[in-house]
Amino acid sequence: MNPDHEALLALFDREMREHARPDGPGVRIERTGEVVRQVGAADDWNGVVWSAPDLDPARADAVIAAQVAHYEALGHGEFEWKLYAHDGPAGLADRLLAAGFEAAEPETLLVAPVAELSTAVELPDGVRLRTVNDADDVELMARAHERAFGSDWSRLRHQVLARLAEDPDGFVGVLAMVGEEPVSSARMELYPGTGFAGLWGGGTVEAWRGKGIYRALVAFRARIAAERGCRYLQVDASEMSSPILRRLGFAALSTTTPYVYRSH
């Protein structure tokens, strides 16, 4: 990794993880010295976002067990430990697996300076973009997501509705529409005080893939990020979106794997 990327990764770790802010209404950040975790209701994202880089291997198992006990005491049957490839100590992933966590698909942490990204929105004929403004629009986001990914959007529905109602300045939702039908949706989370904004979603229904809609959604959100004074855009990218984002100017800084714990 070149020195610029190393410095950017260190900035990301410090601003977005060690000094994490709650990612929505009704959630809180808890710091224990060894981990930073987010806690909310069952439909919120609950999990460990950072662990101390000098975490003592002799204490790691006890720290993991303490997080399981903490979330179970709150009645949460599921939470996530968001592990990055550069996190220590060595073997932390194996310790999580041994403690009953399950690894989901790894993603690539990509970051780009907003000032270096194109904000030119180029769309195929018949497609228009518009922002999400109310509960009806959230249902359109849900329809696009479920058609694109084949997964349930109920928890995200709860989170997006809460953001629209209680923190609309910290959230941007975008719909790609063909007539009255949503064919793609995406969102951007703003993290005031960090310089970062996060891009999420971007799933496009199969019949409309490969036509530039994903790139247009990135450019649309990059323009808004620039207007809001954000310095960097961050994406946890899948294998499908990572090559597109790299071509647009994003750099890979690390990989991240969600380790999910479910009570048995």
CA distance 157 to 136: 11
pLDDT in the model for residue 153: 81
Condensed to tens digits (0 to 9), the pLDDT of residues 155-213 reads 888 889 988 988 888 999 999 999 999 999 999 999 988 999 999 988 899 999 999 99
The residue behind tokens 């990135």 is 218
Mean pLDDT of the chain: 94
The answer to pTM > 0.85 is yes
pLDDT in the model for residue 242: 95
* Closest C-alpha to 153, from 167, 166, 164, 143: 143
For residue 3, is pLDDT > 90? Answer: no
Task: Name the least confident of 39-48, 162-171, 230-239.
Answer: 162-171
Determine contact, residues 23/29, Cβ cutoff 8 Å.
no
To the nearest whole percent, how much of the chain has pLDDT over 90? 84
The values of phi and psi at residue 228, to 5°, are -85, 0
pLDDT in the model for residue 70: 97
pLDDT in the model for residue 185: 96
For residue 43, is pLDDT > 90? Answer: no
Which tokens go with 30?
Answer: 């808890």
Which residues, 6+ apart, have CB-to-CB distance to 126 below 8 Å?
178, 179
Condensed to tens digits (0 to 9), the pLDDT of residues 47-69 reads 999 999 999 999 999 999 999 99
For residue 130, is pLDDT > 80? Answer: yes
For residue 1, is pLDDT > 90? Answer: no
To the nearest whole percent, how much of the chain has pLDDT over 70? 100
* Closest C-alpha to 196, from 62, 15, 64: 15
Q: What's the one-letter identity of residue 205?
A: V
Largest CA distance in the chain: 60
pLDDT in the model for residue 178: 97
